[in-house]
Amino acid sequence: MIDVGLWFMFPVAVGISTIAMLSGIGGAVMFAPFFMLVLGLDPLIALGAGLAIEVFGFSSGVIGYWRKKVINFSIVKQLITLTIPATIVGVILGRVFPTFVLKILLALLIMYLAYQFLLRGKECLPKDPRCTGISAIPEKLVLSKLVRATSLLGGLLIGMISSGLGEINELNFLQKMRMPVPVASGTSVFLVAMSAIVGVCAHAYFLVSQGELSIFTDVVSLLVFTIPGVVLGAQVGVLLSNLVNRQYMGKFVGVLFVILAILTLLTVFQ
């Protein structure tokens, strides 16, 4: 039975999704803290719900990048065999580790994103399709052991805290491998979307197999109101993208992330 008392998540989702689209970030990193801080959800449930939302957000991105033919499937084939199993292991570890560990990891990731916006002066993260430069597709790239190892870590993180793989992809594809931004973005979004889908399936499997059907129903109720808001908010973000000062938006998001990181850390001591 759908809990209509969660109707307010529709406008909340519109707002969060709009901010996420304007700043080029994954919505899960904002939804998960909101679910924990405002709705009081268990961190594991909040992170799983955030990951489910990310599936819908990134899936639309995959379609767009696919049409533009900027997804490097040579790299995808080399990394997806690492990130998918790592995501499943991450989901398992998330159910084994104490919840305070998950909160600390999430807070550290949010603080890293704040650093990206405030200290490095980024107006948006490279996964944002509007932050593009060179459009040429690079030649086949051979991945180093370091890139493979860090991608494995990213898979673990997205399974544990629903975020992290995209940020590691940014570091690998742009700073280490010097890929053109559109290709780096398309390849990263594809890898994150595939890992997110697998992660959601793993979360659902554990909920059903362990008889946690009431929690599963609550999450479905949450998603019924949140996902339409995410879809609408993404479109609003696109419409506003040319009207909002990107530098000011970046600073706003940076400050917002600092606040979210601090509040998330404070819940560890409650």
What percent of the chain is modeled with pLDDT above 70? 85
Q: How many domains are contained in the chain? A: 1
pTM of the model: 0.79
Closest of 15, 7, 145, 164 to residue 87, by C-alpha = 164
In a domain, 215, yes or no: yes
In a domain, 220, yes or no: yes
In a domain, 136, yes or no: yes
Q: Per residue in 239-254, pLDDT tens? A: 776 677 767 777 888 8
In a domain, 1, yes or no: no
Closest of 61, 38, 56, 34 to residue 47, by C-alpha = 34
Q: Are the C-beta atoms of 164 and 108 separated by less than 8 Å?
A: no
Structural domain harbouring 64: 7-269
The Cα 23–Cα 247 span in angstroms is: 10
In a domain, 184, yes or no: yes
Q: Per residue in 41-75, pLDDT tens? A: 888 888 888 888 888 777 767 877 788 888 899 99
- Please give the pLDDT value at position 215: 72
Closest of 148, 135, 130 to residue 183, by C-alpha = 135
In a domain, 2, yes or no: no
Mean pLDDT of the chain: 81
In a domain, 110, yes or no: yes
pLDDT level of residue 130 (50, 70, 90 thresholds): very low
- Please give the pLDDT value at position 113: 81
The Cα 60–Cα 129 span in angstroms is: 12
- Interior/surface letters 42-72, b for 16+ CB within 10 angstroms, e for the rest: ebbbbbbbbbbbbbbbbeebbeebeeeebbb
